[in-house]
Amino acid sequence: MRLLIRAKAVAPIFFNVPEARDQLLNSGQVYTIRRKRKSVGETMAREGNIFQFKELGKVNIELVKEISGPQDLGEYVSRSGFPTAEAWYAKAAAGADHLYDVKLLSKA
């Protein structure tokens, strides 16, 4: 009997907010807030949508923590692309409660 092991693919992550996208491409790291829990590991960063997109590069995604508001973001603001935690949280999708650390491994 052969045992097949399947590696779970990590879905691409999209950066359509200019502040976050620029932070990732210019510094190689960005903290991002997402509404849905994402799979973690290596994947591709993209801009656009699932039907028409531009590859930004290969990234590694790590879950940092769950958040409940801008008060939980203070120490992460410097790598968010935003000037304040309030501005960052206001730009996030409604219900966003997962903070991720995304590191650029190579540009497309």
Mean pLDDT of 76-104: 96
pLDDT tens per residue, range 10-68: 999 999 999 999 999 999 999 999 998 999 999 999 999 999 999 999 999 999 999 99
Q: What is the pTM of this model?
A: 0.91
Q: Could you give the C-alpha distances from 49 to 53, 55, 65, 72, 79, in angstroms and in order?
A: 5, 11, 26, 29, 24
Q: Are 102 and 25 within 8 A, CB to CB?
A: no
Third-level CATH fold of 13-107: 2.30.130
pLDDT tens per residue, range 54-87: 999 999 999 999 999 999 999 999 999 999 999 9
Asked if the model's pLDDT at residue 3 lies above 80, the reply is no
Spatial distance between the Cα atoms of 52 and 71, rounded to a whole number of angstroms: 35
Predicted pLDDT of residue 9: 84
